[in-house]
Chain A
């Protein structure tokens, strides 16, 4: 029982770091509407970690999935979820909506030297 308690206590710093983490990373936004991702091609800077905000405007849930990015995240209806992605090597990374994979598809293109501020502009 002590081992269990110890293991759970060790997780507290992880939980706290999630809450107090400084949000100084560039942010990019994807919108899911009518089971389609907008934009379906998202350009991001290569070699830089960034936050990906995914807004689900549909009335049904979706799972953002990408084998290339090694990410999967459940997105509730009419909610916005966030993912940390990268740093990515220059190239193209496919993603899709697990529940509507025939329509909800897109690519993230990592481009070297792309302006970091561009991501924040996309959010606003």
Chain B
């Protein structure tokens, strides 16, 4: 049960930690950064509460496929938001950048919280609360926190000589998340689920490192063809926008430094 609790934490909440780290590296001005993170997480919690109220009826809607359609739609909107964010950054619209970042964080955290907190609330109805569950959550939180701090310092150190990495990393991250949600369409029978390849023998989905990689880059041991197409499409479109507008983007990212006192 400890492993299960740990995996669940890594799968559902690690992406939130990672996005916060990327977002904090992208906005060096502390006051703006704090505002965006707090707003994004608070909005995500509100979305979660709203979802919680309608969760039952949502799951029954669209012939029982409502939740899958909702999560896939959310992933699509996240890709669009990242594209809009890059374009806003290109035009030095800092207010728009903050809004898009907060919305991105809100959408990502809402879907993570729904899956994760439902797991824990379902356990409250039991007579006893298993110790391994708490331990799994604590280890998951510690691991996620450590990884996000490492990612933050890595990106922050890269901003001087390779500032575009501040946008490339979220692009890989969001594309991976999008690809994982594409699989939901196979689950509800909208697309075929032909597995393209299998790396189960090398790096099984049941290993903790696979869960971490899934959070980072959307690793999947047995991806279906549509997942790979979705990943490549999202990556290509976003990276093309970044590459085409790289001069302005580098200027915007570097000039966005906090004035030294």
Interface residues, chain A, with chain B CB atoms under 8 Å away: 3-4, 7-8, 10-11, 14-15, 17-19, 21, 25, 49, 51, 59-63, 67, 70-71, 73-74, 76, 79-87, 98-99, 101-102
Tell yes or no: B8 within 8 A of A by CB.
yes
Q: Is the CB of A102 within 8 A of B119?
A: no
Q: Is the CB of A99 within 8 A of B123?
A: yes
Tell yes or no: B118 within 8 A of A by CB.
yes
Tell yes or no: B64 within 8 A of A by CB.
yes
**What are 15 A-B pairs at a CB distance below 8 A?**
A3-B80, A11-B69, A18-B62, A19-B62, A51-B189, A60-B126, A61-B118, A67-B204, A67-B221, A70-B195, A70-B220, A73-B187, A74-B118, A82-B64, A98-B4
**B: contact size bracket:** 35 or more
Determine the residue in chain A with the shortest Cβ distance to B122.
Answer: A61
Interface residues, chain B, with chain A CB atoms under 8 Å away: 1, 4, 8, 55-56, 59-60, 62-65, 67, 69, 72-73, 76-77, 80, 83-84, 115, 118-119, 122-123, 125-126, 183, 185-190, 192-195, 200, 204-206, 220-222, 224
Q: Would A84 and B76 be within 8 Å (CB), given that A3-B83, A63-B119, A67-B221 are in contact?
A: no
Chain A residues lying within 8 Å of B67, measured Cβ to Cβ, are 74
Chain A residues lying within 8 Å of B122, measured Cβ to Cβ, are 60-62, 99
In the assembled complex, the Cα of A99 lies from the Cα of B221 at a distance in Å of: 22
